[in-house]
Structure 1
């Protein structure tokens, strides 16, 4: 089924919107059945954005929060689901509006909301679908949607703190490389060519500088192609399951960065498990969904093994301890939470604590890296200036 944007004339004047149908002719017939005179109709493609739950970046993730919140408000006011969906759909444009239009038409045709959402995996992730299905089964869809909106608002706060904090240091490093390349390929050759023509004896710092400059000017394209090939090769390797698993295993062993990545992933997984269990979803299904949300392959496989072992009768704490990748604090929280019956509450506290630690550590790391990179830039530029000016100063002394 496709989505068609239309412009038609109705009793209230010009009407614009979108409608789901198999063909343009079927869409036109549906509009005519509504009493509309179609002026224009065109096909709109559905979104193919990568689902966030598999580790990609979903551009609709932030837009889902107000949609879910508004849908919960309308349902709590005793408005029928189809009417509530139609109201929410009218406020959306583009591919999000197309996806909601498909969902609205499916629900109007008798499908459940969860089934309609399951046909749009590019917009609605398994966690959302699972919670909606539980809400429909229990007859508390408005409450579950409100809970889902709160979860999404909090989940959006759990962004990649490390990359965000390191953005400025990486920007400084990139500018350092650009400045260095500019000096070595344009400024330095112009200054040194005059000295060489005069037969001036060149000191060793200047010879080193000239050698690097000649290398960049003579073989710059080859060096760029080599570095590009290495980069493409690394990207290709990281796209394979074997490459991602190896890289994620190395990442967890890195000092500082490994702990940051580990705590960030565990905070997200803990929040997802707690939210799903509070919505009435059993632990095994919650862990399975949380495992797919974990980007690190080592931790993902560990969560999947925990699910399998718990399913065969093991305690949660023992199953996690046998994996050898979870910190003792996490193992204790799961074990004590299972025994006390307060697993959801303890996991939420764990997620909040780990997110706070990641934010603090990444901020301090960025604070330390910034002056180091600035000093490095000053040293590189200073050496270039010193190696360039040294023969000029020596020539002045000789004269």
Structure 2
């Protein structure tokens, strides 16, 4: 099918006449969209209200499939009447193309006008597309409040000046970083982070944000944040947050941190006890701790810790614990024996004749790993 040629924009009167012609209307609207500057000039110079005629068409086709082309044509004009249409369309439409066209018209408004109309949308509208387009319209606007500017940085995909992070704005940053757009807010914060300003509001943070700051502080100069890790280890109630701090505390040589970690050996939480044992780097008699431990997971952690030290003073512990009824404890002991190497062979050979078949199997496995195959063959036959 041959494409119809667009009619020229010769005069305001000619444009208006063709807009009134039902058969020619669509082509003329396309011509206007193709050269809106000329149509606007004709309308002003010749006092022919082309914009008014387009708006009449838009009203007539309110419920028609042709409304879209009338709307897009109208929104190309920087006229007070089209501004109101753009505002209405912007806050009501769910069509992405209509939203973008309305935004283009609204971009002609002054910074003050945009701030007044668009900022409420940032905080009241749950439509992600609308809030993102709204944020892009406000990007770089110097008249925004700190709260609005931070929200814009959280959503906009355009370059923005990051609002200052200080004692006056810290609480706003925290609200935004645990608000509806946390990922964008946290990404913006990290472009020029000032952890000290926000860490004073620790008690106002939700769990995910606390974990975020623990990770970020650990990635930076962790020694500067001894106070944070110490307070978490001593006072934080959430198990996951305490464990996160314990995971990074191995990088800290502060005596107060070490003592706080040691105190957690007695935590009611099995997970925290295990993490504290793993994080503790100073000398400690782990055999005393395992005597009263009832948790299988923590027992395994202690056995692994002792095994990593490769200290034969712990052989009696491994010998006793390998007879445990739990296979995980026996397995951990077997690994500990293996790390001691040939220093453990005499004990393992003794355990090979234990009355419990599980203990015998564990001892045989480690002896095999230690290349005691000849001894095993000889004693298996006997």
Give the TM-score taking structure 1 as reference length.
0.23
In terms of fraction of residues, the more helix-rich structure is 1
Query: Of the two structures, which has the highest relative contact order with CA contacts closer than 8 Å and spacing of 6 or more?
Result: 1
